[in-house]
């Protein structure tokens, strides 16, 4: 999509503010292909991808984005070879060990990491408890599935005794209930699908797909995604803001 000159020239922090970009979500895909291109084991791609994720999240915070959500391990990723799955679990634990460096980020794990073992369950809970109340939010989707999240929400409502539910009830029972819905979902790695990520919350998210493999994704690529986001017209089913609105409409 063409980016007009005004948007092209504004600083990215200004664009974040002006466009109301509060929550960005990343489907961090392409680690395996990145490694394969270099004749390395897939685990090597995950290691570089995990390091890169810290850089990208820090940058999003720096440019004024309040909330990031990253897709790190889907409920379906358990189908992968044991060696790869174990490497991903080890990377999660070492990430948690170093997460103390991030002084102003509140970490939240979305999905069911606790089902992957006692250590992962305890370490993820501890990090959440230690960082509660901090100004920036990072949701890490680990053992996460969008359908499972909706089913969980409905089951919680049934357990409360509800016999009919509203959209608000479901939203309030999602893992992300304390965050605004994602404004922008970026998927790296050239696939154009959502792979069971934030199915409910993505109803009106802007989607942005890039061929860049996650380990190669840079802060300049974030700037580009923000510029594209700022160029889009989010209508939410209504009309463009600059279209004439009929009386009593266009709220």
Q: Is residue 185 a contact point for ligand IPE (CB under 6 A)?
A: no
> Which one of 4-12, 28-36, 208-216, 227-235 is the stretch in contact with Mg ion (CB under 5 A)?
28-36
| Residue 216 bears catalytic tag | no
Q: Residue 74: which region, alpha, beta or left (left: phi > 0; alpha: psi -120 to 50)?
A: beta
Exactly one of 10, 14, 17, 33 binds ligand IPE (CB under 6 A); that residue is: 33
CB 165 within 8 A of CB 96: no
CB 56 within 8 A of CB 216: no
Q: What is the rounded CA–CA span in Å between residue 137 and residue 110?
A: 12
Q: Is residue 191 a contact point for ligand IPE (CB under 6 A)?
A: yes
Q: Is residue 139 a contact point for ligand IPE (CB under 6 A)?
A: no
The DSSP annotation for 135-172 comes to: SEEEEEEEEE-HHHHHHHHHHHHHHTT-SS--HHHHHH
Q: Is residue 134 a contact point for ligand IPE (CB under 6 A)?
A: no
The tokens for 125 are 């809970």
CB of 79 to ligand IPE, least distance (A): 9
State the binding partner of 74 from Mg ion, ligand IPE, none, CB within 5 to 8 A by kind. Answer: ligand IPE
Exactly one of 53, 73, 109, 175 binds ligand IPE (CB under 6 A); that residue is: 73
- Which sequence positions are flagged as catalytic? 29, 77
């Amino acid at each position: 999509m063409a980016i007009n000159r005004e948007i092209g020239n504004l600083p990215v922090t200004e664009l974040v503010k002006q466009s109301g970009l509060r929550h960005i979500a990343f489907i961090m895909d392409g680690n395996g292909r990145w490694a394969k291109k270099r004749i390395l084991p897939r685990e090597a791609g995950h290691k570089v991808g995990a390091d890169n994720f810290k850089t990208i999240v820090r940058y999003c915070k720096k440019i004024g984005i309040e909330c990031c959500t990253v897709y790190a391990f889907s409920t379906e990723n358990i189908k992968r070879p044991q060696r790869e799955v174990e490497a991903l679990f080890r990377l999660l634990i070492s990430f948690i060990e170093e997460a103390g460096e991030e002084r102003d980020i509140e970490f939240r794990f979305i999905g069911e990491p606790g089902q992957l073992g006692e250590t992962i369950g305890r370490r993820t809970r501890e990090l959440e408890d230690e960082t509660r109340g901090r100004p920036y939010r990072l949701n890490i989707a680990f053992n996460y599935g969008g359908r499972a999240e909706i089913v969980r929400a409905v089951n919680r409502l049934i357990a409360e005794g509800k016999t009919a539910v509203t959209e608000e009830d479901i939203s309030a029972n999602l893992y992300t209930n304390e965050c605004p819905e994602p404004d922008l979902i970026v998927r790296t790695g050239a696939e154009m699908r959502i792979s069971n990520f934030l199915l409910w919350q993505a109803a009106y998210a802007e989607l942005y797909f890039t061929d860049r493999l996650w380990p190669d994704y840079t802060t300049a690529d974030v700037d580009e995604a923000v510029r594209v986001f700022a160029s889009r017209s989010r209508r939410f089913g209504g009309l463009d803001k600059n279209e004439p609105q009929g009386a009593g409409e266009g709220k």
